[in-house]
């Protein structure tokens, strides 16, 4: 699993070659969509077989900072108002998002970089689960298997510019093991 939260203008041949090698060896790559001000979509989020991830609120509403151009197939994950551990070291800043309570330091983070870490966690969960139930999750087919799962878990958002990843939509179903096996064994059920 590789999570990328930076973007560049143009494709860089050496990085593209490394991405292709990683993908062909079964590495699933999720990359943060750039801020809305970047046009067109930046590399590597616009790269083939890399999942482009935007940011959303917990109810699936898109954040306003997601770019509307670029890659046709885009996903989003929780990325707004995510509570993360935070230590400021010896520098004290008047950060209104930083809270101190009960001896625990934390702050709320937002954006596509945060959503990309959440999407990488979702993908990791499913790779591990695939390995347990089907011996999937290995080799160059990883991208297609994850794409099928991402499409299925975001089918409630079909037709939207970014499809919101909701893994609970699969696990809340009564026969989720059979459903996940069917998704991986058959063709793609969701078409944009």
Say yes or no to pLDDT of 17 above 90: yes
Q: Which of 2, 59, 72 is nearest to 32 (CA)?
A: 2
**Separation of alpha carbons 58 and 120, rounded Å:** 16
Q: 2-82+110-185 has which CATH code?
A: 3.40.50.200
For 131-190, the pLDDT digits (tens) are 787 765 555 578 888 999 999 999 888 778 899 999 999 888 888 888 888 888 764 443
Distance of alpha carbon 169 from its chain centroid, rounded?
16
Question: What's the predicted TM-score (pTM) here?
Answer: 0.81
Q: Are the CB atoms for 1 and 28 separated by under 8 Å?
A: yes
For 157-174, the pLDDT digits (tens) are 877 889 999 999 988 888
For 82-120, the pLDDT digits (tens) are 988 876 554 445 555 555 444 567 888 899 999 999 999
For 45-64, the pLDDT digits (tens) are 989 999 999 999 999 999 98
């Amino acid at each position: 699993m590789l999570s990328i939260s930076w973007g560049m203008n143009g494709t860089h041949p050496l990085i593209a070659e490394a991405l292709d090698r990683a993908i062909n060896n079964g590495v699933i790559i999720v990359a943060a969509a750039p801020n809305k001000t970047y046009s067109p979509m930046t590399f590597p989020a616009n790269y083939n077989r890399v999942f482009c991830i935007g940011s959303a609120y917990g109810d699936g509403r898109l954040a306003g900072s997601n770019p509307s151009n670029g890659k046709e197939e885009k996903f989003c994950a929780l990325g707004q108002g995510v509570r993360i551990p935070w230590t400021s070291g010896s520098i004290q800043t008047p950060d209104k998002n930083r809270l101190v309570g009960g001896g625990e330091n934390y702050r709320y983070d937002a954006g596509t970089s945060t959503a990309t870490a959440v999407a990488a966690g979702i993908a990791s969960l499913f790779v591990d689960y695939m390995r347990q139930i089907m011996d999937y999750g290995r080799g160059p087919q990883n991208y297609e298997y994850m794409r099928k799962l991402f499409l299925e878990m975001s089918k409630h958002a079909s037709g939207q510019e970014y499809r919101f990843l909701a893994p609970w939509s699969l696990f809340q179903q009564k026969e989720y093991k059979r459903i996940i096996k069917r998704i991986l064994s058959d063709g793609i059920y969701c078409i944009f």
